[in-house]
Amino acid sequence: MVQKAERVASPGPRGGTRAGRPVGNVTRGTTNPNRMRRVDRWLAGPQAWRLRTAADPLVVDLGYGASPATAVELFQRLSAVRPDVRLVGIEIEPERVRQAKALERPGLSFQLGGFELPVPGRPVLVRAFNVLRQYEEADVPAIWRLVQDRLAPGGLFVDGTCDEIGRNVTWVALDARGPISLGLSLRFGSVELPSEIAERLPKALIHRNVPGEKVHTFLQALDKAWLEAAPLASFGHRQRWVTACRSLREAGWPVLDGPSRWRLGELSVAWAAVAPDGLPAAEGGRRGHQGP
């Protein structure tokens, strides 16, 4: 049962819990197998250094939904990076946790909880996908802060959104200081213009794709680069996308990745380039994004 949305208060000195209750609301919980493959590929790729160097390889899948399938998939993908990874799937709805318990195995467990992350230790990675979109934009900073305060040194929190089968995906990556980057990943041929991914922007940005906002300016610049790369369309969408991403960087946009990620349909840009007024901004750069 979906809970009527409650405002999420700013975290208090003891972590923001309300008399022991999980922090958050019961959400729709819809999901599909392999829906998170694009962000998982990013976590197991350029962000894998965080897990490899962690003193405690603890990972949290926050709000995995009505089915634990994507939590199991994340565990399998990260196990290839670090075999001793421990992944905890957290859900605020007790019945979802009860059903997921049947899939527990060494290194993979499920428990009741919310944004307070009631796990022993501090996680090095936290993935929350299609969760914050069901909250108020005004609640985003408090939710971010609550999760950030639980991260291990060098830890990363990923707040993202995707379509129903994971073709088009966006995410905000945050460390303990604040947001680092906005990531995009799209399936070639699924959109006519890159800016169509705006309907999948995270809650912090979904209402900001309007003239005068930085994220709107960024998406318009990406469309322009894509259209100017049209002569390369005969060589395929991938070549055209790579050229558009390179043009965007040459135009002065703080693109944080390179051709090896562009060829996958990805693009990451520094958060400062898209940050809306009123939300925290950290000086996240290449060191925090790509590795020590």
- Residue given tokens 């169509």 in the structure block: 196
Assign domain 37-207+255-290 one CATH number from 3.30.300, 3.30.70, 1.20.120, 3.40.50.
Answer: 3.40.50
Average pLDDT over residues 219-235: 97
Average pLDDT over residues 116-137: 95
Average pLDDT over residues 240-255: 98
pLDDT in tens, 259-286: 999 999 999 999 999 999 876 655 444 4
Evaluate if residue 199 carries a pLDDT over 70: yes
pTM above 0.75, yes or no: yes
Evaluate if residue 257 carries a pLDDT over 60: yes
What mean pLDDT, rounded, does the chain reach? 91
- Kindly indicate the confidence band of residue 234, based on its pLDDT and cuts at 50, 70 and 90: very high
pLDDT value, residue 5: 46
Residue spans per domain, the chain: 37-207+255-290
- Kindly indicate the confidence band of residue 8, based on its pLDDT and cuts at 50, 70 and 90: low
Least trusted range by pLDDT, from 6-10, 36-40, 124-128, 250-254: 6-10
- Kindly indicate the confidence band of residue 26, based on its pLDDT and cuts at 50, 70 and 90: confident
